[in-house]
Amino acid sequence: MTTMTAEDYAINVHAIPMFLMGIVTLGLGLLVFRSNPQSAAHRHFLALCASIALWLDATSLGLCATKPDTALAWFRLDNVGVMFISVAFYAFSAEFLRLHRPRSIWWGYGLATLLALAVLLRDDFVAGVHHYWWGYFPRWGPASVPFFLVFVAYMAAAFTDYVRTYSGVTTPIKRQQIKFVLIAFVIAYLGSVDFLPAFGYELYPFGYVPIFLLTVVVTVAILRYHLLDAALFVSMSATYLPLIPFTLVLVLLAHGLSHLSAAALASVLVGATVAFTALYVTFQPWLQSALNKALFPSRYDAYNTLTRFSHAMVMNLDLVNLQHEIIRTLQTVMRIEKLSLFLFEKELGRYVLKASHGVDEAQVNTVQLTSHEAFAGFLLSCNRPVVKEELQHESLGQQEGLSSTLLETLTEMDSEVCLPLVNKTRLIGFVNLGHKPSLEFYSHDELKLLRSLADSAAIALDNAMLYEDWKRSQLLIRRADRLRSLETIAGGFAHEVRNPLTSIKTFIQLAPSRREDPEFMDSFSAVVADDLARIERLIEEILDYARYMKPKFSLESLNDIVASCLHFIEVKANTLGVSIDKHLAEDLAPIMVDRQQIKQVLMNLILNAMDAMKAKGGRLTVATRSLTRLDGTRWVQIEVSDTGCGIAPEDLPHIFDPFFTTKHESAEHAGTGLGLSIVHQIIQEHAGTVEARSTVGKGTTFTLALPDRTTVDQQPTPPLSSTSPGKLVFFPGIPPQLRGQTGTYGP
């Protein structure tokens, strides 16, 4: 090579993109190599990138040459890069496909080295240069024929290996990996059009553009996606397609404005680049979305559907419905043949099948997994979708037998992908996904979406399970609250039963001596029958009171319910020195309520009132009345007042909070703080309100407002509260621990 000086070169705008892409390509190759230097495939990919970089940079310097001899020297060097491109691609493909061909690979590198030396030392490989409108370009001589044949032969051998291996692979991920690389390199080797100018055809050498895109996409796939997603390549490549016409426009613009000064031409090109970059950055997300929708409509629709579902299911607190909805949505949207959902069952201490589609439940139920087994521990630690096929090729460190155990468990559950459901460092369950139709693979985007869905599902399922626990606890608390009242009711029951038992006892004593007296027998028999019926009604009423059921609305008279409650507490009231005043509205019509629940509310308020007066006695007043709001809706009020000790102002805002109590004076009379919380909830279920007013030393008044309705489907607006001091209105709803925590309640 002759000595070169600065006068031998001039800036050529056609060479700048090519030179920069060559440098970036080499950098990408080094990045891949550093990610795993022990991988032979990564080393050969570095050789491929280095060969491409040598070809691009040497060609760009040849385009900048002002003398034919200078350009010829660089073009001989660029053909050295071209020769090694084919061999490096063959070597990379052999390692990627795991064909184990070390001998043929090294023979290829040796042959490429000999041909490279021949290119550099002989004049009949690159015989001279062409001069086109974009600059000098190599002109091949007679000896280039074997060079060209070797290039084509290695490329053909690599593509043949891809096709042959693809036809024999049955696992979806490996098939998709091979398809990805094959399609990527087919598109990239459109760069072979650069051979045409070497044979004398005046076609601008734009081959560096697809090859550069190939390098970028494969690098991203190796480093981030493990070559799993061909759709990624198509989508990314499509969004980069505007770069090709832009590059050609720059070339034509530079050629058309060649009469301008260097500074003016550079300003125009820089301005065009800045404008294109601004537009590209603005519209690239829209272009990406449009291409995804056009090229992959099913995936686009699935993505949108699953995204909407992940947002919606956190609002679903019906555990059974949520379980089946998760399975149904996954099966419908992703067309998965077999699915199963396992959740941890505290009572059994293991994960139990809760919902499924297309699986043999008898077989799957044979899998007994506890939270302490290796499978559950692995899912909790990785907290990402576990792909069975990937697991077969991954190293799990020094845990001998763990990989085989995991694979065996996944096989027993017909699982190709397992989604852990982790919430707050707890594995609450997992979802098993089987094969997709036609052995399609799970793409990276789908796995990423499924992980997001699993995170939302874990929160939703955890919330639903906590809500089920909360509902069960509410049933127990209400039942316990009713039973707490039975001690008082028992006194009233004894008082009510004593009189009829006396008449029955008298009849039994007199019957033997007066059985011949028809008048006595008839009259006393009727009295005894009435008394027995009265006792039966009392027993039934107590049993109904102690047995909580779901709200069961019926037309009931509030006056009758109030009278029934006061009957039972008369005995206790007499022992405490408490007088009872009743003021029941005579014109009160029956309304839709749950009789037993309203009775529980009244018993709770009445017993609280009597506790407040037990020290000195006092007066208990219960009144009913009807009222009409300005909007025309009718309501019924029940007012329970006492003359007891009252409630401190600082305690009044908290009396309806669960577990808030001021009854700490003794273990015998300690309160649970749940009674008024239950009152809140019951009144809310009746679409009503509860008010509390109290003055220390004078007493407390509770006012219940219930809608005057004759059907349960009527939904009245709760009445507005008074704004007078010391008067509070509470809309009970769920307890404060749950308020404002929709979708996130739990420890």
One-character DSSP codes across 636-669? EEEEEE--SS---TTTGGGTTSTT-----S-SSS
Other CB atoms within 10 Å distance of the CB of residue 484: 16
Other CB atoms within 10 Å distance of the CB of residue 88: 27
Q: Cα 192 to the chain's mean position, in Å?
A: 46
What phi, psi does 424 have (nearest 5°)? 55, 55
Q: What class is the 549-730 domain?
A: alpha beta
CA–CA distance, 436 with 208 (Å, rounded to integer): 38
CATH for 312-470 is 3.30.450.40
Classify residue 515 by burial, with Cβ atoms within 10 Å: 0-12, 13-18, 19+: exposed
- Give 183-218 pLDDT, tens digit per residue: 767 766 666 767 777 777 777 777 777 776 666 666
Other CB atoms within 10 Å distance of the CB of residue 651: 14
Q: What is the rounded average pLDDT for all residues in the chain?
A: 75
**Predicted local distance difference test score (pLDDT) of residue 214:** 67
**Predicted local distance difference test score (pLDDT) of residue 340:** 92
Classify residue 214 by burial, with Cβ atoms within 10 Å: 0-12, 13-18, 19+: buried
What's at 150, amino acid-wise?
A: V
Which has the closest alpha carbon to 243: 222, 212, 269?
A: 212
Q: What is the CA radius of gyration of the chain?
A: 43
Other CB atoms within 10 Å distance of the CB of residue 240: 17
414: left (phi over 0), alpha (psi -120 to 50) or beta: left
Which has the closest alpha carbon to 84: 120, 124, 118, 111?
A: 111
CA–CA distance, 197 with 311 (Å, rounded to integer): 57
Three-state secondary-structure class, residue 489:
helix
H or E element: which one contains 162? Answer: helix 144-168
**Predicted local distance difference test score (pLDDT) of residue 484:** 61
CA–CA distance, 585 with 638 (Å, rounded to integer): 10
Residues 6+ apart with CB under 8 A from 665: none
Classify residue 510 by burial, with Cβ atoms within 10 Å: 0-12, 13-18, 19+: middle
Which has the closest alpha carbon to 495: 595, 577, 601, 566?
A: 566
For residues 602-632, one letter each, b for 16 or more C-beta atoms within 10 angstroms of the residue's C-beta and e for the rest, the string is bbbbbbbbbbbbbeeebebbbbbeeeeeeee
**Predicted local distance difference test score (pLDDT) of residue 1:** 42
Strands 618-628 and 578-583: parallel
H or E element: which one contains 131? Answer: strand 126-132
Other CB atoms within 10 Å distance of the CB of residue 434: 18
CA–CA distance, 385 with 296 (Å, rounded to integer): 22
Classify residue 684 by burial, with Cβ atoms within 10 Å: 0-12, 13-18, 19+: middle
Q: Residue 314 in contact with residue 455, Cβ under 8 Å?
A: no
What's at 298, amino acid-wise?
A: S
Q: Residue 169 in contact with residue 182, Cβ under 8 Å?
A: no
Q: Residue 59 in contact with residue 19, Cβ under 8 Å?
A: no
Q: Where are the domains of the chain?
A: 6-242, 312-470, 549-730
Are the folds of 312-470 and 549-730 the same?
A: no
Question: Running DSSP on this structure, what letter comes out for residue 345?
Answer: E
Q: Does the domain formed by 6-242 have CATH 3.40.190.10?
A: no
Q: Residue 508 in contact with residue 531, Cβ under 8 Å?
A: no
pTM of the model: 0.43
- Give 504-545 pLDDT, tens digit per residue: 877 787 778 877 778 777 777 877 887 787 777 667 656 655
CA–CA distance, 195 with 144 (Å, rounded to integer): 11
CA–CA distance, 448 with 454 (Å, rounded to integer): 10
Ordered mean pLDDT values, 10 residues apiece, the chain (747 residues): 59 78 80 80 88 87 85 85 87 85 88 85 80 80 79 85 77 67 70 73 73 64 48 48 64 68 67 71 65 53 62 73 83 81 86 88 82 86 83 56 79 87 88 77 72 83 84 70 61 68 78 78 78 74 58 89 87 89 90 89 90 90 90 90 90 71 50 66 85 90 91 53 35 34 28
What's at 537, amino acid-wise?
A: R
CA–CA distance, 4 with 15 (Å, rounded to integer): 18
The token duo for 210 is 């697809």
Residues 6+ apart with CB under 8 A from 178: 97, 162, 165, 166, 169
CA–CA distance, 312 with 16 (Å, rounded to integer): 52
Q: Longest Cα pair distance anywhere in the chain, in angstroms?
A: 150
H or E element: which one contains 591? Answer: strand 591-593
**Predicted local distance difference test score (pLDDT) of residue 125:** 78
**Predicted local distance difference test score (pLDDT) of residue 225:** 45
Residues 6+ apart with CB under 8 A from 340: 327, 353, 355, 356, 357, 359, 364, 413, 414, 415, 431, 432
